[in-house]
Amino acid sequence: MESIQAIKQRFGIIGNDPKLNRAIEKAIQVAPTDISVLVTGESGVGKESIPKIIHQLSHRKHGKYIAVNCGAIPEGTIDSELFGHEKGAFTGATQTRSGYFEVADGGTIFLDEVGELPLTTQVRLLRVLENGEFIKVGSSKVQKTNVRIVAATNVNMFEAIKKEKFREDLYYRLSTVDINIPPLRERKEDIHLLFRKFASDFALKYKMPTIKLTDDAVEVLQKHRWNGNIRQLRNVAEQISVLEQNRTISVGTLQGYLPSGSNNLPAVINASKSESDFSNEREILYKVLFDMKGDLNDLKKLTMELMKSGNVSDVKKDNEGLIQKIYGEPQNDSAEEAFEDLEILAIPEQTEDTFDVDDKNQNTDKYHFAEEIEEEETLSLQDKELELIKKSLERHQGKRKLAAAELGISERTLYRKIKQYDL
């Protein structure tokens, strides 16, 4: 078994951090087996080195090694890329194609950004992990493959499982062994080593002297948070190497290449923000619905008052606040018209269908009888309105102005009702 230092030299890994050494050690130990491995860590920490170590130290080293960036493949074609497809399986499938799992049979597949896989693809991947079987898109034939799967992700998998974006059973199949790569800010002693290596590489590449940092600049370099990790550090080293004429880099010069305010402590982000926003919107919606229900009940109450009393002016006077709440300010024409439409539902005392709830000859409780009126009249409001309009027009020989005055509505409203009922 090769030593950790030998592995670092062989794969170009720089750093002496204990956490990094432990990750490499686990990769060396698990390599001879066929156990599935999940590599975790932030973006830019160098997770892609671990699958290469595992493949090269395994008995599959003479087989194919295929690295697949799951996040870079469109959702509609990911199944075809991984498992292949038959001719005519979908539009554009002009010929049969072998997927990565068929091509890499006997080798290793590295699934980078595995947390971005669609749920339907996760089901297919789970089947491969469990029994080595897969089915091409558009086919019904089950095929076998013998591949070693190493996956990597920068996603919080437990959070993804909680939000049902990643299958829990697949997670446990992939993470038989979990190898975590520490972020650069936790490897402060390695930061300057990496910077020097990058500076040397770029000096050779661009045929120019190597840049060097002052002691103060080294201190600033190590205190920087490096959210982009090694990838960001490499980018900064390349920029300085190309742009700076003075090859000795001071603190001021270095800070010009670092994002402003990036040395601040990390902000605490509420992970449940979206759920909280949704909850607030739901509460607002409930409140609106309850307000609408209250307005509807008020409208029912006002309608009943108009039905029980033939005196529209008294109802207006007694329920002025309620009318204003429902229809708005009195000067609002549309509100006045709406109220006039309700007025026509009032039952005049002199009509033959009038009920007198105070009639002494009635052998019924006053309130009980009122409830019966509400139930009976509510079923034929439109007929009652039509009947009253007809009677009023007949009484005034078709003169709309007189009929409207008797009914207590505007002539415009009466005209609209005449058109509505085709009178």
pLDDT tens for residues 41-61? 999 999 999 999 999 999 999
What fold characterizes domain 4-182?
Rossmann fold (3.40.50)
> Which whole number is the average pLDDT over 52-77?
94
Query: Are 238 and 194 contacting, i.e. CB atoms less than 8 angstroms apart?
Result: no
pLDDT given at position 353 = 46
Q: Round to whole Å and give the CA distance between 211 and 192.
A: 12
Query: Are 392 and 407 contacting, i.e. CB atoms less than 8 angstroms apart?
Result: yes
pLDDT given at position 76 = 87
Site of tokens 């006002």: 302
Q: Where are the beta strands (DSSP E) in 147-283?
A: 148-153, 177-180, 212-213, 248-249
> Which whole number is the average pLDDT over 92-105?
93
> Which whole number is the average pLDDT over 262-266?
47
Instruction: Say yes or no to pLDDT of 265 above 60.
Output: no
Inter-CA distances, 257 with 44, 228, 235, 237, 243, Å = 18, 14, 10, 9, 11
Q: Where are the domains of the chain?
A: 4-182, 186-255, 295-420
What does the DSSP 8-state code read for residue 358?
T
Q: Strand pairing of 133-135 and 142-144?
A: antiparallel
Window from 118-132, 155-169, 286-300, 316-330 with minimum mean pLDDT: 316-330
Q: Round to whole Å and give the CA distance between 56 and 62.
A: 8
CB-CB neighbours of 59 under 10 Å = 12
Query: Are 340 and 410 contacting, i.e. CB atoms less than 8 angstroms apart?
Result: yes
Q: Round to whole Å and give the CA distance between 38 and 54.
A: 12
What class, spelled out in words, does domain 186-255 have in CATH?
Answer: mainly alpha
Amino acid identity at 60: R
pLDDT in tens, 217-245: 999 999 999 999 999 999 999 999 999 99
| Main-chain dihedrals φ then ψ at residue 11, nearest 5 degrees | -105, 10
Q: Round to whole Å and give the CA distance between 27 and 53.
A: 7
Global pTM exceeds 0.75: no
CB proximity list for 72: less than 8 A, separation 6 or greater? 113
Amino acid identity at 279: S
Q: Round to whole Å and give the CA distance between 360 and 101.
A: 93
Token readout for 13 is: 């890994």
- Closest C-alpha among 69, 61, 62, 57 to residue 30: 57
pLDDT in tens, 161-183: 999 999 999 999 999 999 999 99
Instruction: Say yes or no to pLDDT of 367 above 50.
Output: no
Kindly indicate the confidence band of residue 389, based on its pLDDT and cuts at 50, 70 and 90.
confident
Q: Round to whole Å and give the CA distance between 335 and 157.
A: 57
Inter-CA distances, 169 with 51, 88, 119, 130, Å = 22, 33, 12, 11
Token readout for 413 is: 């409203």
Site of tokens 């415009």: 412
Token readout for 54 is: 């595992």
Query: Are 234 and 241 contacting, i.e. CB atoms less than 8 angstroms apart?
Result: no
pLDDT given at position 420 = 79
- Closest C-alpha among 151, 152, 150, 132 to residue 142: 132
CB-CB neighbours of 8 under 10 Å = 19
Token readout for 156 is: 């919080």
Instruction: Say yes or no to pLDDT of 70 above 50.
Output: yes
Q: Round to whole Å and give the CA distance between 301 and 21.
A: 79
Q: Burial code of 25-46, b = ≥16 C-beta within 10 A, e = fewer? A: ebbbebbeeeebbbbbbbebbb
